[in-house]
Structure 1
Amino acid sequence: MEDFSPRFPAAGERDPRFGKVQKRKREHDCTTASSESGKPTDCTTGSIRNGDLVDNLEKQFGYFSTSGQGVWGELSKQVASKLSERVYAIAAFKGDKMICSCSGIIIHWKPRLITLLTSASLVRSFHDESKISEDLTIRVWNEYYQYADAWLEQYDLHHNIALVNFQAPGCASPASLQHKEQLESGSKVVAVGCLFNSRKLMATSGIVMDKLSRSDGEEFIVSTCKVSKAGTGGPLVDFNGFFHGMNFYDVEQTIFLPRNIILKCIERFGIFRAENKQGGHCAGGIITRSTNNGVNGSPDSCLYPQACVDRIHENLRSRSYPLPTKFCGGMVLVNGFEEKFPNMDGTCGDGLNQLSKEVASNLSRSVVSLASFSGKRRLFACTGIVIEYNLCTSVLTSASLVRSSEDENRIDDNLRIEVRLPNKQYVIGKLQHCSLHYNIALVNIVASPYLHAASLNHQVQFESGSEVVAVGRIFAVGKLTAISGTLTDKRSKFDCTELRTSTCKIRKGGIGGPLVDLDGHFIGMNFYDEEETPFIPRNLILECLRRFETERSIAADMCNLNRWPVPKPYWVYPAASDWDMDMNVKVDMRAATLTLL
């Protein structure tokens, strides 16, 4: 049986990372190398690994998560969602040239800092495979994050393991390596990876095969999952989402380093202990090193490099958010537009699970996100629902989208409205009608086959205690978020006396989003309040729409307009009780921040 030891061979030997005979070329020859298609390839495109035979680092394997096909149709929504949040694409650059690209998964989180497990191939020196390259720039991202600068924290060249750290506001849910689930020969598994340039998450399924023995007593395992080079370092999980190993690319078969060996390596790193080892050391032949680049993890230190701070400041200004005094000590942004709806325990809500597959599918095609811009600066973001109005495709949403920042009793006609569709494409919207008194707006958009117009005309009646679901779509990432609850008799504290309330706890990004029953019938449009969620009921919306047919906005005494307060964003230090430093993270989502990096 062939030896799949994770050593890294000299020229002409089989390399378990790439599964083919590697011919060394000088780095400056890479622009003349030919790809499998026979076309010249430039290393700035990210399609080569520093002189190895050219191989497309963006090559797909299995199915993309957005397709809903293949293994994604077999995984539960919860498992698929967790994988999309935890699996990252990681790339190493020398200057502007991509040297290597692979995948990784979150294994550790603490406020401001995320640790990814990946392959040491990311940083291994091309000239001396017993060493790492010191002059590389590491970047990471997944479906939710923009580019983030990262650094190598620990590595083990013997087992081809690397831990990569990067700083990110908010919270993350790591994969647990310390569960009790076991794999056996024939077990069904899923190999997951992420493409760097496109951020597309992909996966393929297979089964576990027999173990391969090694001379030193340790073992690799083979699965029938076929991954591309982009899947190197990516996780192997079961259909319940439990982590079981890290994949390595090979032409003939996919081997993975099992979880028990990974755990032993990470225990040597001390990553799960408070007293993390610092500096290089060698223990039992395992080469490890911490490269924290002088970053101090104390609560009073600023963890962000200046370039990262400048980028975050620019991002905040572009979203009309205030700047924090400093990015340290776990400061988080409250009342941003990017927060998902939370459950009572602080986890992210998924109220769509309460609905049938057909109802959830229709809602996913009906609910869009909107944002208003003054130049390049975003002023407001919210949710809307697609309806047919006067034979046009329109979005029903909140008039807060177009209110003047200087005078909330006036519409700003100079704003640009962008609408993010369910397929994540953007279209320009045009304000059709608006009622500042009832905080309702209609935005016209071009028709799209991706959209499903919701019906507001039904005869279903609703009473206190009825089960309902509030739905929103986050403009920054295009993701749906939903939370379930019940209708209540409680009066809203807003001026509008016709409003009703529900126990659904939404966030600011859900303003203008629909409240529906479990059959998908439209009940009303949500507004945001910290204590309860008020909504304007369907009958009042229909009355406004009828009046829109004869006048642009509902006539009202300007002195008696209803007020529709929207809380301002601000930065806070969350209380110590809000953070759980264990692997199972529970965080007060009111303190969860937006995606900045």
Structure 2
Amino acid sequence: MWKAKRGGGDLPRSFHKNSRAFKNEWISGDLLRNSKQDVWTGLSDGLKSYLSKSVASIILFNGDKILFSCSGIAIEHQFFTKFLTTATLVRALNATTKHHDDLKIQVRLDGTRLYDGYMAEYDLDNDFSVVEVYSVRDVQVGPFQSALESLPHGEVLAVGHDTSGEIMVETVELNGDSKVSEDDRDLHCKISKPWEGGPLLSVDGDMVGMNLFFTNRRAIFLPWGTTLNHYLTFVQKKTGLVQ
């Protein structure tokens, strides 16, 4: 059975006043609202193949009923595969475990098959979690160990994976370091789509950030360097490499 600390809920981090993840780390970009099909059609075959094999849909079920879904990106593939995603998945689990008795996490990568997964690691303060899945084939691990030194200007791609198996792509315009204020009214207009936890990529496929959520006008994300630093520090502490 899943066991986790109670509390937190599944609201955006902006509603938690003591959230370490909100200390000047959230960045936003403007959604250009292009057609998903038009964006996907314009991508190179190599980038399409990479996204199809690395970005997964992560689904929380109670029996056959979907309670929550998000996206994740493959960061390690050995005899098991690790998918990094948002800690909102943990909050959804925390909010539902006392009301449901048939919870399970499943991962869809290839568009058809669902793989059983489990929560391997998470850090609520720094807004990430890791789901492990066994026996997944044909996975491509993303450029996890590297991050751009600075955020690019211009158009980038927000990528998600729908529960139906569809890869979703939206174009986001970045105009410098657009940090998000906790009092920003736009944060109350969160769009309920499974973009959370998916990657934000440059048009060349470089990692730019991890999607947190969309509002009506903007994509809210954590820069990949921030997520990478939080995760690697977490792993080092867990393995005893740092004190």
TM over 0.5: yes
Q: Mapping of 1:43-122 within 5 angstroms?
A: none
Partner amino acid, structure 2, of 1:474: D
Give the letter aligned to residue 162 of structure 2: I
2:220 match: 534
Q: Distance in 1 between matches of 2:145 and 2:101?
A: 31
Report the TM-score when normalising by structure 2.
Answer: 0.69
Q: 1:385 to 1:551 in 2, by over 3 A?
A: same
**2:128 matches 1:440:** yes
Shift of 1:355: 3.0
CA distance in 2, matches of 1:521, 1:353: 19
Q: Displacement, 1:404?
A: 4.4
Distance apart, 1:432 and its partner CA: 0.8
Asked if 1:386 corresponds to 2:74, the answer is yes
Aligned pair partner of 1:515 in 182, 200, 203 = 200
In structure 1, the gaps of 5 or more residues are: 1-341, 496-504, 553-597
CA offsets, 1:480-518, max 9 Å, x none?
1101222233222458xxxxxxxxx98621111110011
For the 8 Å contact 1:365–1:451, the answer to whether it is kept is yes
Output the CA distance in 1 between the equivalents of 2:136 and 2:146: 24
Is the 1:418–1:428 Cα contact (8 Å) retained in structure 2? yes
The amino acid of 2:33's aligned partner reads: M
Offset from partner CA, 1:187-230 (integer Å, 9 cap, x none): xxxxxxxxxxxxxxxxxxxxxxxxxxxxxxxxxxxxxxxxxxxx
The alignment partner of 1:452 has SS state of coil
Determine the C-alpha separation between the residues in 2 that align with 1:457 and 1:473.
22
CA distance in 1, matches of 2:32, 2:218: 14
Instruction: Decide which moves more: 506-515 or 428-437.
Output: 506-515
> Secondary structure, in 3 states, of the residue corresponding to 1:460?
coil
Show the counterpart of 1:547: 233
For residues 409-455 of structure 1, what are the alpha-carbon distances to aligned partners after superposition, in whole Å with 9 as ceiling and x for unaligned? x9x99841010122421001111111112221100012433211112
User: In the superposition, relative to structure 1, how do residues 510 and 494 fare at CA in structure 2: closer, same or farther (>3 Å)?
Assistant: farther
- Paired residue type of 1:539: G
AA aligned opposite 1:372: L
Match of 1:344 among 33, 42, 45: 33
Residue aligning to 1:485: 172
Give yes or no for contact 1:474–1:480 (8 Å, CA) kept in 2. Answer: yes
Work out the CA distance in 2 between the residues paired with 1:439 and 1:414.
25
Distance in 1, Cα, partners of 2:101 & 2:227: 23
User: Which amino acid in the other structure matches residue 508 of structure 1?
Assistant: K
Higher strand share: 2
Write out the 4+ residue segments of structure 1 that deviate beyond 6 Å after TM superposition: none
Q: Which residue of 2 aligns with 1:396?
A: 84
Q: Distance in 2 between matches of 1:406 and 1:434?
A: 12
Cα 1:449–1:362 shift into 2, 3 Å: same
In structure 2, the partner of 1:359 is: 47
Q: 1:440 to 1:512 in 2, by over 3 A?
A: same
CA contact (8 A) 1:354 1:518 kept: no
For 2:38 and 2:150, locate their aligned partners in 1 and report how far apart those are by CA, in whole Å: 22
Please give the root-mean-square deviation of Cα atoms over the aligned residues, in Å: 3.2
- 8 A contact 1:355–1:519 mirrored in 2: no
Question: Which protein has the bigger helix share?
Answer: 2
Q: Distance in 1 between matches of 2:77 and 2:138?
A: 18
**Change in 2 beyond 3 A, CA 1:515/1:413:** farther
Change (3 A) 1:391 1:427: closer
- Alignment of 1:524 onto 2:209: yes
- Equivalent residue for 1:368? 56
Give SS of 2:134's match. coil
Higher relative contact order (CA 8 A, sep 6+): 2
Report deviation, 1:400.
Answer: 1.3
Matched-pair identity in %: 30
Q: Evaluate the alpha carbon distance shift between residue 494 and residue 349 of structure 1 in structure 2; reply closer, same or farther with a 3 A threshold.
A: farther
Shift of 1:406: 6.7
Contact kept in structure 1, 2:82 and 2:132, CA below 8 Å: yes
Q: Work out the CA distance in 2 between the residues paired with 1:462 and 1:435.
A: 24
Give the structure 1 partner of residue 154 of structure 2.
466
Is the counterpart of residue 419 in structure 1 residue 124 in structure 2? no
